[in-house]
Structure 1
Amino acid sequence: MSNDAPLRIVQIAPRIEPGSGVAGVAYELERALSAAGARVERFTLAQARGHARPPRTRIGHVWEVLWFTISGTRRARAFLRARPDAVSICHNDAMLGDVYVNHGLLQASMRARGNYLWRMVRNPLHLFTTGRDRIRYRGGRHRMVIALTEGEARLLRATYGAVHAPIEVIPNGVDVDRFRPPLPAERTRARREWRIPDDDWVAVFVGHEFDRKGLPLILQALPQADGVHLLVVGGTTEMIRDARADAARRGVGDRVVFAGRQSDVLPALWAADALVLPSAYEANALVVLEALACGIPVVATAVGAAPDLIVDGRNGYVIDRDVAPLAEALRRVRDAGHGAFAQECRETAVELSWDRIAERYLRALARVRRERTDGRATP
């Protein structure tokens, strides 16, 4: 295998498809690596099973994780054996791959939600995942681990101690052609979808886990941030009902619009003047990058990519997870006016376009291939 030959890459993940989450990241990375000249293949549940996947249910999800970890690993190994020149990237569940991309730490996420021990014990899948990942990181299954932020790299070491494979920090990217500042007509059309008046100043919250991502905190802060309206994207019917009642009790019900789950977050970003995300834990919230690419500032806690990306007063504010600093940051962004941060926000996002992120992956994968060519064993 020549080190000068174009890279052949296999991505391993339960799903690789447009959208959000791990599946969406793998999909965008596939596109960017292919555009850069690499030959990219995929190994997913569909390839492993050889037939269409079943509908997604809670029980089905548990079974898929178990199946892809055990049987999927065996079948992926055979798939890679037939492609000895390929460098492999694993995104989730399977216990092999030259490179493993850490998309988040279950233990950190559970601690952020509170009642850690109860949450872990009541869900056997959490215990299985914790044990599996300890084997992954301590047992030397991969030649390289990619963390999405410097903070996540530190958290990996704090959680698992001596991670055998070297850790490289490569953030997620963003499609800067799709996520861009809206034209005036596009912004007006997006606001009309949720009956938002043109002169309302709107912060958007995006997330399906209201508590961990901080929606209750935002509702507490709204009474201290006059003139700030809130567009809430995500949540179940029950979660929205409870949050709507909370907003009404605090006297801000008329300033909050619940959009529910949306297959495409772009119209919500175009309708907004800022993104607010006071999360307790994030590995690397894609919506932060998407908001910046759309030219809107971000008010977020110092988790995930926010402390690496946000510079106070230039493209948003990084805050403590408390009501007073959140309300103060919302007032500052509101007082600056729509578009005041747009150029800085956009410039931040362009630095993390998927084509630039793909270049960083290619350099890392080339190093891995050289190690394999030199005959070095997996650490």
Structure 2
Amino acid sequence: MTRVVQIVPELRTGSGVEAVAYHLEQEWAKLGVDTSHFTLADAGGGWLPEAGTGLGGKLTLATRVVWFSTVGTIRARRMMTRQPEGTVIICHNDALAGDVYVNHGITAEAMKARGNRFARMVRNPLHLFVWVRDALRFAAGTHQVVVNLSGSEEEALRRSYPSIRSRTVIIGNGVDTDRYRPDPDSRAATRASLGIDPGADVGVFVGHEYSRKGLPQILEAMTGLPDFVLLVVGGSTDMMEHAKAEAASLGVADRVRFLGQQPDPRPYFHASDVFVFPSAYESYGLVILEALACGVPVVATAVGCVPDVLTEGVNGAIVAPGGESVREGIRRCLAGDRQAQAQAARETAEDHSWTALAREYLELFDSLRGGSR
């Protein structure tokens, strides 16, 4: 194998699929691998704007997904024919092309986790489109190998698409342990800027889908944690207004700081004693590794990477869905040895560096039949 090409709508830092592709490309380049990418712009979709909020944002997102799934598939397959012998193509999203497909999430499973799966699927035509597209992807054996990010996600894939013909493997996600690390100075400065007492018990939630990722359960949990302060990072204006009303109805509004979308979540990890993330569904949950890398223990439901990276009482707490269980998980973390938990959290993240993950992928590529397409 002499070359790697990634198919992904965009590459960029931050979080999400685009960041995974970005970090892998950076690490492969450091290892001397010839690497490039095929993006939405290469598929002729550069005219499409970023998906925003509201109805317009949803329509833009749907257009981007459909374009990259259809036109992107055609153009990506043409691109593949022009690659030199030994090139491995890895697809991260939408397009039905490539030797390796990285499963970053299963729509049907996400809908199932939130309840009323069929109603949710029918209400949003994009969900139906993605389900049908991926049913074709897996039934046709489009890819030699499908990479699942966790053991639970592999089980979910086979449950949702029992006719899958591709070989499957498990390779998790990584975290930038240089960028995400403990920072006592940032902790003090961020708390001061937010008017939070240096000795207060502070939790943080980071996510753009409040309902699916469990913010309502955290607000409910806070009714039994009278001294607990919560920082909420992410979400649209409409989502924040709804959540503020919910917090007010529960009598916890004065202890919740809605910070909106932030370009950098690190100061809020640093300011916190615990990261709370009772999500209903995650294909992996990269934000969990980011919190651990910052030395912040995690309270989370057993979804995505949680069973693989969290150890009860060591670097966090694994909880069941629901406000009462989340409350008890937060209490257990706050009552434990905080310095030991912070150290264990950091050590866990260090075992999931992007360098290690990049090497795992290279080993997989070398195992492909003939070492290439």
Alpha-carbon separation, structure 1, partners of 2:210 and 2:339: 27
Amino acid at match of 1:23: E
Q: CA deviation at 1:51?
A: 5.0
Q: Where does structure 1 lack aligned partners over 5 or more consecutive residues?
A: 1-5, 374-379
Q: CA deviation at 1:53?
A: 4.5
Runs in 1 of length 4+ with deviation above 6 angstroms? none
Amino acid at match of 1:233: V
Amino acid at match of 1:38: V
**Is the CA contact (8 Å cut-off) linking 2:317 and 2:332 kept in structure 1?**
no
Alpha-carbon separation, structure 2, partners of 1:160 and 1:344: 37
Give 1:1-379 correspondences, 5 Å limit: 7-49=2-44, 53-56=48-51, 57-85=57-85, 86-182=87-183, 184-336=184-336, 338-368=338-368, 370=370, 372=372
Paired residue secondary structure (2:348): helix
Amino acid at match of 1:42: H
Q: Under a length normalisation based on structure 2, what TM-score does the superposition of the two structures give?
A: 0.94
Which whole-Å deviations, capped at 9, do the CAs of 1:115-158 have from their partners, x for residues lacking one? 22221112222111111100111210000000000000011011
Q: CA deviation at 1:50?
A: 7.9
**Is the CA contact (8 Å cut-off) linking 1:7 and 1:366 kept in structure 2?**
no
After superposition, the Cα gap between the structure-2 partners of 1:156 and 1:50, relative to the gap in structure 1 and judged at 3 Å, is closer
Amino acid at match of 1:214: G
Alpha-carbon separation, structure 2, partners of 1:126 and 1:245: 29
**Is the CA contact (8 Å cut-off) linking 1:110 and 1:116 kept in structure 2?**
yes
Alpha-carbon separation, structure 1, partners of 2:210 and 2:32: 41
Q: CA deviation at 1:192?
A: 2.7
Alpha-carbon separation, structure 2, partners of 1:237 and 1:60: 18
Alpha-carbon separation, structure 1, partners of 2:211 and 2:60: 25
Which whole-Å deviations, capped at 9, do the CAs of 1:37-82 have from their partners, x for residues lacking one? 2111100011222856534333222122111111111111111111
Alpha-carbon separation, structure 1, partners of 2:369 and 2:198: 54
Alpha-carbon separation, structure 1, partners of 2:92 and 2:74: 16
Alpha-carbon separation, structure 1, partners of 2:250 and 2:62: 38
Paired residue secondary structure (2:230): strand
After superposition, the Cα gap between the structure-2 partners of 1:109 and 1:103, relative to the gap in structure 1 and judged at 3 Å, is same
Amino acid at match of 2:242: D
Q: CA deviation at 1:300?
A: 0.3
Q: Where does structure 2 lack aligned partners over 5 or more consecutive residues?
A: 52-56
After superposition, the Cα gap between the structure-2 partners of 1:353 and 1:254, relative to the gap in structure 1 and judged at 3 Å, is same
**Is the CA contact (8 Å cut-off) linking 2:6 and 2:38 kept in structure 1?**
yes
Alpha-carbon separation, structure 2, partners of 1:54 and 1:261: 18
**Is the CA contact (8 Å cut-off) linking 2:45 and 2:64 kept in structure 1?**
no
Q: CA deviation at 1:328?
A: 1.2
Amino acid at match of 2:205: F
**Is the CA contact (8 Å cut-off) linking 2:365 and 2:371 kept in structure 1?**
no
Alpha-carbon separation, structure 2, partners of 1:237 and 1:61: 18
**Is the CA contact (8 Å cut-off) linking 1:16 and 1:27 kept in structure 2?**
yes
Amino acid at match of 2:58: R
Q: CA deviation at 1:311?
A: 0.3
**Is the CA contact (8 Å cut-off) linking 1:297 and 1:341 kept in structure 2?**
yes
Alpha-carbon separation, structure 1, partners of 2:45 and 2:65: 17
What residue number does 1:377 align with? none
Which whole-Å deviations, capped at 9, do the CAs of 1:311-339 have from their partners, x for residues lacking one? 00000011111222211111121122643
Alpha-carbon separation, structure 2, partners of 1:208 and 1:262: 11
What residue number does 2:54 align with? none
Alpha-carbon separation, structure 2, partners of 1:248 and 1:120: 31
Paired residue secondary structure (1:282): coil
Paired residue secondary structure (1:40): strand
Q: CA deviation at 1:260?
A: 1.0
Alpha-carbon separation, structure 1, partners of 2:45 and 2:278: 42
In terms of mean alpha carbon deviation, does 250-259 or 275-284 score higher? 250-259
Alpha-carbon separation, structure 1, partners of 2:199 and 2:309: 29
Q: Under a length normalisation based on structure 1, what TM-score does the superposition of the two structures give?
A: 0.93
After superposition, the Cα gap between the structure-2 partners of 1:60 and 1:251, relative to the gap in structure 1 and judged at 3 Å, is closer
Alpha-carbon separation, structure 1, partners of 2:194 and 2:168: 44
